[in-house]
Amino acid sequence: MKLFQSPCFVKALGSYLKGEKERIQRCKGRVFALKDEPDVARVWLPKNDSPGLAMARAFGDFCLKDFGLISMPEISYRCLTDKDEFVVLATDGVWDVLSNEEVVGIVSRCPHPSRAAETLVSCAIKSWRSKYPTSKIDDCAAVCLFLLDSKSKGTPANDDEIIITQSPPRPLSDLDGQQPLLPPRRS
């Protein structure tokens, strides 16, 4: 396999991540999916249907920290081999709509490494529009790190082929009257 995904996303709160959901519920947070996104479980405040965060572990999102959201990452290790070609780091907006296999296929077929992240994000946005036509598209960002230059078969990839791409930021008008969550100011 050419990539792996940290399994701390709430959408996967099935049997193998039962502890994530239990922790949130123990802290009085709620976990449920919306009707138009049945495969994306989200974390909600105890008495309000907000903010609907699609992960159980995150930095920021201070309003949920007392209700089970934690920032401690789940860490897994994988020894790279000479068969590994690239690593993909992406936001939940990508992983919510594309499987590991789909991501590998998209990145593998990209004709030039410098376009892989942009192509991946474009595919994720199209998938959001197709799978969840009545929902807002989640933030989609990706980094594709190529470990070997495919042309020279075995030489390290050139650093300027590492491209970071994300979906355009949403205007504040997209917040539907909600205030963006900002960390408290420090004096």
Q: Running along the chain, 187 residues long, what does each successive block of 10 average in pLDDT?
A: 38 57 95 84 92 84 91 85 91 90 95 93 95 87 84 48 48 43 44
Cβ partners under 8 Å of residue 167, min gap 6 = 93, 121, 124, 125, 137, 139, 140, 141
101, 142: one domain: yes
Domain count, the chain: 2
97, 166: one domain: yes
125 in any annotated domain:
yes
Which range marks the domain in which residue 130 is found?
A: 86-170
pLDDT of residue 38: 83
96, 57: one domain: no
Cβ partners under 8 Å of residue 141, min gap 6 = 90, 91, 93, 94, 121, 164, 165, 166, 167
pLDDT of residue 5: 40
42 in any annotated domain:
yes
Contact 62, 181 (CB under 8 A): yes
Contact 67, 114 (CB under 8 A): no
3-state class of 92 per DSSP?
A: helix
C-alpha dihedral sign at 52, 135, 118, 153: positive
pLDDT of residue 157: 52
Tokens for 170?
A: 């949403």
134 in any annotated domain:
yes
152, 105: one domain: yes
List of long-range contacts for 69-73, beta carbons under 8 Å, 24+ apart:
69/24, 69/29, 69/43, 70/23, 73/6, 73/8
pLDDT of residue 106: 97
165, 90: one domain: yes
99, 140: one domain: yes
Q: What is the pTM of this model?
A: 0.62
Residue appearing with tokens 């309000």: 48
